[in-house]
Amino acid sequence: MSKKLILQPCKVSSGQVNPIKGSEFEVMLNPSGFSYDHSITYDQCTSDDPDCQAGKDALGRLAPEPKFKQYGAETVNFDIVIDGTGVVRVKGRSSLPSVGKQIASIKDIVYKYDGTLHEPRVVRIIWGNFTFDGRLTSLKVEYTLFKPDGVPLRAKLTFSFMRYISQQASALKAKQSSPDLTHQVLVKAGDTLPALCEHIYDDYSYYPEIAKINGLRNFRDLRPGMSLRFPPLS
């Protein structure tokens, strides 16, 4: 378990995120605030409402029931303080790099463009039991204290990261959970067709149609080991 928040650059290979050891940055002071945001997008228009699809408002029309469209990207937002006055002590270290050098180290991890990847690196954020793989979407550096010659002695850094999910992981997740894709199910003892329809489509009433698709004369005629096809249904 990490007591201090750590920023760790990662490589992505075959959909797997692997940290680059020895290149992490451990913060001097943990964030005073931390947000982990989730969002869901809904479609307000139905396919049988051409006016709504065209962006037209019909006077007196009741608002349609929102239909799930997609999950939005998860985001993490936090800020840290970097101190170069010597007031803050770090266990095991008698001295620390200047504020400018520490910021440069952080930017090398979260912001620097990787010419081999043609994009910024994936960053792993570790704090206690929390782990988050994401890419930086914004970084604000606010200098709050200076030496008489203008050298910064303290800075506040505000980060925003968006969750990184590889195409392979995203496709696997969709395949496992989406009713809009075809499922092939191996029947187990105790399974019933209505219960399987309820699990996949969230609606048990599709069982007569699924029985017909799979050539079942009786929807109760299920045997363990039987393979059933559950295609997308409108």
Q: In this predicted structure, what is the pLDDT of residue 175?
A: 47
134 and 26 share one domain: yes
Q: Tell me which residue range forms the domain holding 154.
A: 2-43+61-169
What's the one-letter identity of residue 78?
A: F
CATH code (residue 205) = 3.10.350.10
Q: Is position 142 within any domain?
A: yes
Closest CA to 71 of 101, 42, 31, 36: 42
Q: Is residue 55 part of a domain?
A: no
Average pLDDT over residues 187-204: 87
User: For the purposes of burial, counting CB atoms within 10 Å of the CB of 32, is it exposed (0-12), middle (13-18) or buried (19 or more)?
Assistant: exposed
Residue 108 has φ and ψ, to the nearest 5°, of -60, -30
pLDDT digits 0-9 by tens, 89-107:
777 676 788 999 999 999 9
Percent of the chain clearing pLDDT 90 (strictly above): 38
**Does one domain contain both 147 and 96?**
yes
In a domain? residue 54: no
Residues 83 and 185 occupy one common structural domain: no
Do residues 162 and 74 both lie within one domain?
Answer: yes
Residue 131 lies in a domain: yes
Q: What is the pLDDT of residue 80?
A: 96
Domain stop point among 169, 203, 219: 169
Mean pLDDT of the chain: 83
Do 215 and 100 have their domain in common?
no
Are residues 163 and 182 located together in one domain of the fold? no
Contact status, residue 130 vs residue 112, Cβ threshold 8 Å: no
Q: Is the pLDDT of residue 49 over 70?
A: no
The answer to whether residue 1 scores a pLDDT higher than 70 is no
Judged against a pLDDT cut of 70, whether residue 63 lies above it is answered with no
End-to-end CA distance of the chain: 47
What's the CA gap between 121 and 110, in Å, rounded?
A: 7
Residue 153: give its domain's CATH number.
2.40.30
Greater confidence (1 vs 171) lies with: 1
Structural domains of the chain, count = 2
* Predicted confidence (pLDDT) at residue 164 exceeds the cutoff of 50: yes
- Band of pLDDT at residue 75, cut at 50, 70 and 90: very high
143 and 208, same structural domain?
Answer: no
Mean pLDDT throughout 35-46? Answer: 82
Q: Are strands 227-230 and 183-186 parallel, antiparallel or unpaired?
A: antiparallel
How far, in Å, are 116, 131, 162 from residue 123 at the CA level? 16, 10, 10
- Is the same domain home to 94 and 184? no
User: Is the separation of the CB atoms in 20 and 11 below 8 Å?
Assistant: yes
For 175, which DSSP code? H
> Looking at the structure, do residues 106 and 196 belong to the same domain, yes or no?
no
- For residues 111-116, give the mean pLDDT: 82
Of the three residues 169, 186, 210, the one that is the final residue of a domain is 169
Are 187 and 207 within one domain? yes
Integer Cα distance of 217 and 221 in angstroms: 8
Q: What percent of the chain stands above pLDDT 70?
A: 80
- Note whether residue 129 is domain-resident: yes
